Structure 1
Amino acid sequence: MGVPYIAMVMSLSRFEEIRKNLYFCDNESQPSPTSPTFDRAFKIRLVMNHFNSCFQSSMKNTMTQAIDEHMIKFKGHNIMKQYMQNKPIKRGFKIWCRANSSTGYLFQIDLCTGKKKSGPEVGLGESLVLELIQDLVGLGCEIYFDNFFNSPMLQHKLAKKNKKACGTMRIQRKNTPKNLSQDKSMKRGDIYVTCIDGIYFIKLMDNKAVISLPIFVTGTYS
């Protein structure tokens, strides 16, 4: 596993000594756990902010972007460690990512630290999307994500910000129309479409029902 170029520059013991004493912040300025501004990722927040700035300054934002999660393998003990049963990497740190949907170029990351103590109380998926698109104001970008993030309320908020969004949606989401066709009345290949407050709901019957909120969002929300 050794890399000769690196081994010639630095010994293992030297690397471990630097890693043991490497800090990116002033521990004295860290808010207490009871503070509304407490951040579990405080010790690496400046590093993430630096990389996010570099990512976005190195390439202009593209018109089509995707938001999803990524797992970083970690087997140690940490309160932020996550367990994802259906992921190839089941245990580790979860990273929220905004990337170019065509090339995969990464524009922004954020570490999953658990429930936030400050800000409005909204769904986790909705709050993540709104936070990750703050640097896309006025660009008219198209945002794609899966059913963890998507909801009718999120679509309305994105439409107000001139952001077109598309993704599958879980049937249990709040404000899902009650008049969607029942699964038992549909056969494979059937498509049912309805529109409420300018948001189009498309239900497709495959092996099981799939609901999507497509990109052509129109109208206003009241």
Structure 2
Amino acid sequence: MSDLSPSPAALPSLTDFASFYLYGLTNQPYQQSTDVEKFGQLYNLTVGEHGGVALSSSFHPYQLVNQAGVTVWYAAYAQLYSQPNRAELFAAMADEQARFVVAPPASFSEFHVWPDTRLTSTDNPVFSHYIPFVLPFLVRKGPAALRWDAELAAAEGAAGTTADCFAPYLEAVQAAIRFVQPAPAFVLGFDEFDEQHPERLIDNFMSMRDTLL
């Protein structure tokens, strides 16, 4: 007699996730927090109704890829995949928009300067005073807009300048990072990391360079 029981659902691959990050400037980029509730609030405020993972640390951009060439986003995925209950964890992210917080491996505490050296103090001394930081999120792909994108679209469609209309939301995000990036850190934006074009992350900081001089 053939077995008619349903086969287990295939586990999602890394391509079923998107690598997003909040970015800004600070005086100390590499900072950690164990406040899971605050990370959840920050995730809700920036990502919204999508399952995924927040990493319990902020990083300098040159800490996002370790010596083996592994990104912090891949490391977060691998940590979930290594759990005995990984099927339940991934299902919860897809079906219930569950969010998790993971601590990055210690290898990501080390700096590994990319071939694109524009964020080094040698190339641009201003970035030794206004130091770039990144807060990464691994997000299960879905049709709904991210909270950041929805807020920006609403600001662009509102009466008044986009900057003025977006300011209250940006201030809320700024306040929400204080548990892991205290003042004088400030947020510049939110974007998706493209592993094939990592220089685009650096472009985000370079676009602000002249205003910092």
Structure with greater strand share of residues: 1
Pairwise TM-score range, normalised by the shorter structure: under 0.3
Alignment TM-score, normalising by the size of structure 1: 0.21
Higher RCO, 1 vs 2 (CA within 8 Å, ≥6 residues apart): 2
Alignment TM-score, normalising by the size of structure 2: 0.22
